[in-house]
A and B are shown apart, each in its own frame.
Chain A
């Protein structure tokens, strides 16, 4: 029986829950990106990970550049509003990173299937695009009721789901609010979960568009103030657009990236 999430330092949670070769999703759609947790994966030199994320942005550029990833499952890989992810781009262009590519709708439905305990999800999508030719996890399916041709995408087989939230209480009930993306599905769809939070409080109160993940579905909670920077945490800090722009230059040049990695 699990009655509450265990509250531990982030380094312990990553060491205990993430194994080399695992399939790991770090989610947060622009908001609440678990950057500190991603960088802890780099520090602990995790290897051969299948990394999952709808919008791999700079923390995935870092993970890929650091050599943690064997494969990437994703739907949009870029530095939002800035341009390319150069480590990601270099790895793909050099054939060093296996990719499994979807649309956002496809990825969102894969998370929904995982959280629902279903083998796949059904959607309208991909018809006429080139994606099914290159992505084996997109299949046509006939509706048993209407005969309509629809698309099936499989559940993500997540070993670990990692998200960042604004806060948790001392039992490990987690609360996040604002734009919460696919974070609920990431935790519910994974065998093990790590939630970093801005702060641990005595009691959670109402917030707009709040999602509460009850303590018994979360494996670990780790207090990491600023753990989503340079993305933002509504109610705590704004997105550091300057840092996103600055990453472009670091990531573009392998030597600069290596120096960044050394200093991490």
Chain B
């Protein structure tokens, strides 16, 4: 078996989540790599939607930004930005939103706005972009993020995009129509919301990773699933496709 990096495991696992998906709203960075890998492996018909307007983009290599020319040029259609959000995201037309995060809490609420106080920030991050409405209205959300105590915090400093709010029933109370985050895929394993409490629980460890490592990389007392499983390692085909994608 070919050796692989933790990031490769994460991206490969993210791509597997799109096996049966019609359309995926793609955030830039790790989510975009995972979604493009899915289109090259498990789901060639996958419709990639980017917030700058491309619907059904088929980029020949990884775009650096969400509005690169190759996205529009290869798209099935291009929508204006108001249309992307009003006609495509808002009605729940997109099954899965693929998002990243700078900070994430135990209910998968995402912060990409500030570290520290909003008025007097320690670190000013880029902000919301399309994520709040993707998190609210896509059928479900998959978050792809490297796991560390800095990113996985007890409480996010700012809720940019709502995951499961303060727990069970929060999304319903807020009138958010999508299911919210169903999986958080990291370089160490997979976290899923507990069906009752909605608290993120470690359900899978990637091969060679220990539960202790995952707990140490989490800023809250991470719960482990009773039937904690091991992720399938990347196949030769998956690794080959990923490396070709990153090299293109």
Interface residues of A (CB under 8 A from B): 29-31, 54-55, 74-78, 80-82, 84, 88-89, 92-93, 95, 101-105, 108-109, 111-112, 123-131, 134, 148-149, 178-182, 184-185, 208-209, 232, 234, 238-239, 241, 244
Which residues of B have CB within 8 Å of A185? 80, 82
**Complex: how many Å from CA A134 to CA B121?**
13
- Mark B153-172 against chain A: 1 for CB-CB distance below 8 A, else 0: 00000111110010000110
**Complex: how many Å from CA A81 to CA B100?**
13
Known contacts A78-B126, A127-B176: does B69 contact A104 (CB below 8 Å)? no
Select which of A31, A111, A127 is within 8 A of B174 by beta carbon. Answer: A127
Distance in angstroms from B12 CB to nearest chain A CB is: 22
Which residues of B have CB within 8 Å of A75? 127-129
- Complex: chain A residue closest to B118, CB-CB: A134
Known contacts A76-B126, A80-B28, A128-B170: does B67 contact A103 (CB below 8 Å)? no
- For residue B72, CB closer than 8 A to chain A, the reply is yes
Q: B78 and A129: CB pair below 8 A? A: no
Which residues of B have CB within 8 Å of A234? 69, 72-73
Q: A54 and B176: CB pair below 8 A? A: no
Which residues of B have CB within 8 Å of A241? 64
Known contacts A95-B120, A129-B132, A179-B78: does B53 contact A123 (CB below 8 Å)? no
Which residues of B have CB within 8 Å of A181? 52-53, 67, 80-81
Q: How many residues on chain B are close to A (CB under 8 Å)?
A: 57
**Complex: how many Å from CA A92 to CA B71?**
32
**Complex: how many Å from CA A179 to CA B176?**
29
Known contacts A178-B69, A182-B82: does B136 contact A125 (CB below 8 Å)? yes
**Complex: how many Å from CA A232 to CA B69?**
8
Interface residues of B (CB under 8 A from A): 28-29, 51-54, 63-69, 71-73, 77-78, 80-82, 84-86, 89-90, 113, 118-133, 136-137, 158-162, 165, 170-171, 174-177
- A-B contact sample (14 more), CB < 8 A, given A178-B73, A209-B78: A31-B67, A74-B127, A77-B124, A88-B124, A104-B133, A112-B82, A123-B85, A128-B174, A134-B119, A179-B71, A179-B78, A181-B53, A239-B65, A244-B64
**Complex: how many Å from CA A105 to CA B28?**
17
Select which of A54, A108, A209 is within 8 A of B72 by beta carbon. Answer: A209
- Complex: chain B residue closest to A57, CB-CB: B65
**Complex: how many Å from CA A144 to CA B181?**
31
- Complex: chain B residue closest to A134, CB-CB: B118
Distance in angstroms from B21 CB to nearest chain A CB is: 22
Q: B126 and A182: CB pair below 8 A? A: no
Can you list 29 pairs linking A and B with CB atoms under 8 Å apart?
A: A29-B52, A29-B81, A30-B65, A31-B67, A54-B81, A77-B126, A80-B28, A81-B29, A84-B124, A92-B121, A93-B124, A103-B128, A103-B129, A104-B85, A104-B133, A109-B85, A112-B86, A124-B90, A124-B137, A125-B132, A127-B175, A128-B176, A130-B113, A134-B118, A179-B52, A180-B80, A182-B82, A238-B69, A239-B65
Distance in angstroms from B45 CB to nearest chain A CB is: 22
Q: A123 and B90: CB pair below 8 A? A: yes
- Complex: chain A residue closest to B110, CB-CB: A129
Distance in angstroms from B41 CB to nearest chain A CB is: 23
Q: B160 and A129: CB pair below 8 A? A: yes
Distance in angstroms from A87 CB to nearest chain B CB is: 11
Q: A30 and B67: CB pair below 8 A? A: yes
Which residues of A have CB within 8 Å of B130? 76, 103-105
Q: A149 and B66: CB pair below 8 A? A: no
Which residues of B have CB within 8 Å of A134? 118-119
Which residues of A have CB within 8 Å of B28? 80-81
